[in-house]
Amino acid sequence: MIIAGICLLLWFSPGIADEKKVSAIPERVVLNITETPFSSQAVTWRTRISSASPRAEILPVLDLLNPEKKPKIFPALSSTVVVDDKDKIFQHSIIFNELLPDMIYAYRVGDDQSWSEWNQFRTASEKPAPFTFLYFGDIQKDIFSMCSQVFRAAFQKEPDARFWLFTGDMVDNGLDDREWDEFFSALSFIPRTIPLVLVPGNHEYPGWQTIVPGAPRTISHLWRPQFTFPENGPKGLEEIVYSFNYQGVCFIILNGVENLPEQVAWLENVLSKNQQPWTVVAMHHPIYSVIDRRNSTELQDVFVPLFDRFSVDLVLQGHHHSYARTKKLKNNSPVSDKEKGTVYVITNSGPKYYPASNRYDHLMDKTMTHGVWFQSIRIENNTLQYTAYNMIKEVVDTVVIKNK
Ligand SMILES: [Fe+2]
Ligand SMILES: [Fe+2]
Q: Angle 127-195-144 (CA atoms, 0-180°, nearest 5)?
A: 150
Judge whether 377 and 385 are in contact, CB under 8 Å.
Answer: yes
Give the per-residue pLDDT at 337: 86
Q: How far is CA 185 from CA 80, 118, 157, 310, 351, in A?
A: 22, 18, 20, 40, 17
Please tell me the predicted confidence (pLDDT) of residue 56.
Answer: 98
- Rounded CA separation 38/175 (Å): 33
- The protein residues having their C-beta less than 5 angstroms from ligand 1 (an ion) are 138, 169
Q: What is the mean pLDDT of residues 385-390?
A: 98
Opening angle at CA 264, ends 259 and 268, nearest 5: 150
Residue range 202-226: mean pLDDT, rounded: 81
Taking the domains of the chain in order of start, what are their residue ranges?
27-122, 131-402
280, with CB counted inside 10 A (0-12, 13-18, 19+), is buried
Tell me the backbone φ, ψ of residue 88, rounded to 5 degrees. Answer: -95, 125
> Is pLDDT above 90 for 206?
no
Q: What pLDDT score does 12 carry?
A: 36
pLDDT at 126 exceeding the cut of 60: yes
Tell me, which fold does domain 27-122 have in CATH? Answer: Immunoglobulin-like (2.60.40)
Query: By mean pLDDT, which of 13-22, 137-146, 170-179 is the weakest?
Result: 13-22
Q: Looking at residue 13, what DSSP letter applies?
A: H
**Distances 58 to 30, 94, 108 between C-alpha atoms, Å:** 15, 11, 7
pTM: 0.93
Mean local confidence (pLDDT), 317-321: 96
Query: 131-402: which CATH topology?
Result: Purple Acid Phosphatase; chain A, domain 2 (3.60.21)
Q: In this predicted structure, what is the pLDDT of residue 292? A: 73
Q: Which ligand is nearest to the CA of 205?
A: 2
Closest ligand to C-alpha of residue 204 is 2
Which tens digits make up the pLDDT trace of 346-373? Answer: 999 999 999 888 888 999 999 999 999 9
Q: If pLDDT is split at 50, 70 and 90, which confidence band does 215 have?
A: low
> How many A from CA of 257 to the centre of ligand 1?
13
For residue 47, is pLDDT > 80? Answer: yes
User: What per-residue confidence (pLDDT) applies to 289?
Assistant: 87
The answer to whether the CB of 107 falls within 8 A of the CB of 43 is yes
Position 272 pLDDT exceeds 60: yes
CA pair distance 85, 74, nearest whole angstrom? 31
For residue 20, what is the DSSP state? Answer: H
pLDDT(13) > 50: no
For residue 44, the cross-strand partners are: 30, 93
Categorize the per-residue pLDDT at 263 as very low, low, confident or very high, splitting at 50, 70 and 90.
Answer: very high
- Strand segments (E) across 102-143: 104-110, 119-122, 131-136
Phi-psi region for residue 248, left (φ > 0), alpha (ψ -120 to 50) or beta?
left
What's the mean pLDDT in 190-218?
84
Whether 326 and 304 have beta carbons less than 8 Å apart is answered as no
C-alpha 376 – ligand 1 centre gap (Å)? 21
Query: If you compute the radius of gyration of the chain from its CA atoms, what whole number of angstroms results?
Result: 22
Q: How far is the CA of 211 from the centre of ligand 1 (A)?
A: 17
Distance of CA 249 to CAs 165, 183, 326, 378, Å?
14, 28, 21, 11
Q: How far is the CA of 256 from the centre of ligand 1 (A)?
A: 13
Q: Which residue has the higher pLDDT, 296 or 357?
A: 357
Residue 203 phi/psi, 5° resolution? -75, -10
Does pLDDT of 11 surpass 60? no
H-helix or E-strand spanning residue 187:
helix 177-187
pLDDT score for 52: 87
Task: Say if residues 57 and 70 touch (Cβ distance below 8 Å).
Answer: no
> CA 89, CA 240: separation in Å to the nearest integer?
22
**CB neighbour burial string for 3-21, b if at least 16 within 10 angstroms, e if fewer:** eeeeeeeeeeeeeeeeeee
On average, the pLDDT of the chain sits at: 92
Ligand 2 centre and the CA of 211: distance in Å? 14
| For the CA of 171, the nearest ligand | 1
Q: What does the alpha-carbon distance between residue 32 and residue 300 come to, in Å, rounded to a whole number? A: 29
